[in-house]
Structure 1
Amino acid sequence: MGTSNAYGGAGGGTPLIPSWLQDDGGGAGGGATPPSDGSTPAPATGTPPAVPPAPAPRPVIPAAGASDRFTGARASFSRFASSGGSDRRGLGRAVSRYVSTSAGGSRRAAQRMGSSRGAGAGLVRFLNDASVNGVREALRALNLESLAGRPIEEVFAGLADYICPEGGSIDEGIARDAFVETIADLAGAGMTDIDALTPAQIQTVLELYATHAIEARLCNDIGTKVVTLPADPRAAARVEAQLRDFIQRGVSDAINAAGVNIQALSPDAVTEFVTTVYQSAFEILQTMGDAEAGE
Structure 2
Amino acid sequence: MSALTLAAAAAPFDRDLDADFARIESLVADARARGVHLLALPEATLGGYLADLDGEAEGPPALALDGPEVARLAAIAGEMVVVAGYCEAVDDGTKYNSAVCVTGDGVLGNHRKVHQPLAEDASYGAGDQFAAFDTPIGRIGTMICYDKAFPESARALALDGAEIIVCVSAWPGSRTNASADLARDRWKRRFDLFDQARALENQVVWLSANQTGTYGSLRFVGSAKVVDPGGEVLADTGVDGGLAVASLDVTAALETARRSMGHLRDRRPDAYPALGGAYSLA
Q: TM-score, normalised by structure 1?
A: 0.30
**Per residue, is there more helix in 1 or in 2?**
1
Whose relative contact order is higher, 1 or 2, with alpha carbons under 8 Å and at least 6 apart?
1
**Per residue, is there more strand in 1 or in 2?**
2
Greater C-alpha Rg: 1
